[in-house]
A and B are shown apart, each in its own frame.
Chain A
Amino acid sequence: MANAFWCLVEDDRKGSPKKVMAEVLGEAARLSGGNVEAVWLTDKVSDDGIKQLGGWGASKVWVLENAAFSPYRGEVWAPVLAELATQQSPKAIVAPVTSKMRELAARLAARLGVGLAADCVGMAMDGDQLVATRPVYAGKLLAKMTWAKTPWIATLRPNVFKPADAQAGKSAAVEKPTVTIPPATMKLVERREETSTGLPELTEAEIVISGGRGMKGPENYVILEDMGKVIGAAVGASRAAVDAGWRPHRFQIGQTGRTISPKLYLGFGVSGAIQHLAGMRTSKVIVAVNKDPDAPIFKIADYGIVADLFEVVPALTDEFKKLLEK
């Protein structure tokens, strides 16, 4: 339908949309009054996946299933999406923030000659104009953004927008459009999976534990991972810890690392340098444990304990265990 809000589907590469799509579809429905469609480029869809998108509010799923869409290559995906968008005139195209979608949204915006607001944390209609709120300067300020014309393209930060409630009975119409798929010049050589920690991904996790310089060395992160296993948390690190070589960069939280908004952030031995706070201050609940009562992180923490983290962490892990075993 013309003027629909399109939601680009991020999937697990096995035929199921990721959970974050409930947030994207829920927000798109709220903004558009329910005129929401999902657009799914993949080499593998499943009926269950389509049902899930319908349950989250998509009235239609544009299914573009082709081996050429795996692996993701912007040079292939962007022209296909641009062609479909030009035919169908959606009002907006939104996607969750993932490494793929951030690049794709940028290429698509360039191809369509429209604006892109990346990593939005708020969306509102002002009359018939969409206004996006996004953190700038790594979250030191918020910027309200407006577009010169449609389609409005935006990526939405995970864990911020209210997810749509899954409605079991609701189903989506399926449309399989014919599109021109351009040849790919990029060739996949290999995919190197990280050795799984068994813990959630940093940017998707509802609970994040972070270890700073107070961890004293790489060998001590195991106590944070033990806690992570108990409460289902991702384990991140401050820039000081990453720059010291204690943790790989992909675990860094802050201005030159990941920006996170979990429901619960627990910082251990993190002083709270301004560039770290920028990356986590939108967390819903912040807990800080530090020996130094003057550590800046206490200024934004909801709960603080001034003590040695090496005493607190094992005791806290035990308490969490007791609570969750009940």
Chain B
Amino acid sequence: MKIVVAVKQVPDTATQVKISGSDPKAIDTAGITWIVSPYDEFAVEEALRIKEKRGQGEVVAVSLGPDRVKEALRSALAMGCDRAIHVNDPALANADTLLTAQALAAVIKQEQPALVICGRQAIDDDMGAVAAQVAEILGWPAASWIMEEAVDAEAKTIRIGRQVEGGLEVFDLPLPAVVSAQKGLNEPRYPTLKGIMGAKKKEIKDVKAAELGVTGTPQLAVKNLEALPPRPPGRVIPGEVKDAVKELVRALREEAKAI
């Protein structure tokens, strides 16, 4: 069974993100530590577990972005993916989710996997759309925010539990299908030293938009980025707990009108 995992490289969660001084549409990338988007790690982990459970198969990691993205693909390879494909093309520098999905769908069409796993959303643009859009382009069923999965013995269907408000919906999807991983699906492994060494010898293939037949333009664009409006200064309520609590409740009712 072949599985394609889509990964995105994003700034680490601890990064204090700042707007670039020269381009109001972009962030200042100086000094940023880049990581594999956390939800995509769940996706990689789940793909590897499916392969290990079946005792055979291939896991292919795919990413779109500039040269630095190779690092993220190396991390996926170090975790255990078999090979990687890097859609590396300046023509896609401002790709929105749809153009990204078109490029990924083109790669997936060439690879013909039984299953595609994405993270629920990348933690940079937080759009959470690519998995569903890949499915729509391919005409495949999709399930978002999965918390559990099981592929049947013949690799014909996948049973997933997807998180919805107030519970979990369990569905059977015929393969091929696209799913997106929610936190809680698994605990991603750390790459072993052997994995890291081995990753250096694994293939990362570069592809261009034209080779994939992707000629579209972005349908959504960033006009500009803005810092958050500053919050008004707050105050610490002093005194004994019993008095402080009384004052807090008074303030919440009378000043803030929040309760």
A residues in contact (CB < 8 Å) with B: 71, 73-75, 78, 98-100, 102-107, 109-111, 113-119, 131, 133-149, 185-194, 196, 201, 203-204, 207, 231, 248-250, 252, 255-257, 259, 263-264, 273-275, 281, 284-287, 293, 298, 300-308, 311-312, 315-316, 319-320, 323-324
Contacts and interface: CB of A to CB of B under 8 A. Distances in A.
B161 A192 contact: yes
6 contacts: A99-B162, A107-B135, A109-B97, A256-B39, A273-B14, A304-B234
B163 A99 contact: yes
Interface residues of B, number: 82
Contacts of B236: 293, 298, 303-306
Given A116-B220, A189-B171, A194-B167, A264 B133 contact: no
Given A146-B223, A315-B242, A319-B249, A110 B101 contact: yes
Nearest to A273: B14
A110 B183 contact: no
Which of B13, B15, B222, B235 has the largest number of chain A CB atoms within 10 A? B13
Nearest to A233: B259
B135 A74 contact: yes
B55 interface: no
Contact of B235 (A145, A204, A274, A303): A303
Contact of A186 (B14, B27, B171, B227): B171
B18 to A, nearest CB: 8
Nearest to B133: A110
Contacts of B248: 287, 303, 305, 316, 319
B234 A145 contact: no
B172 A187 contact: yes
Contact of B164 (A99, A140, A147, A293): A99
Contacts of B39: 256
B77 interface: no
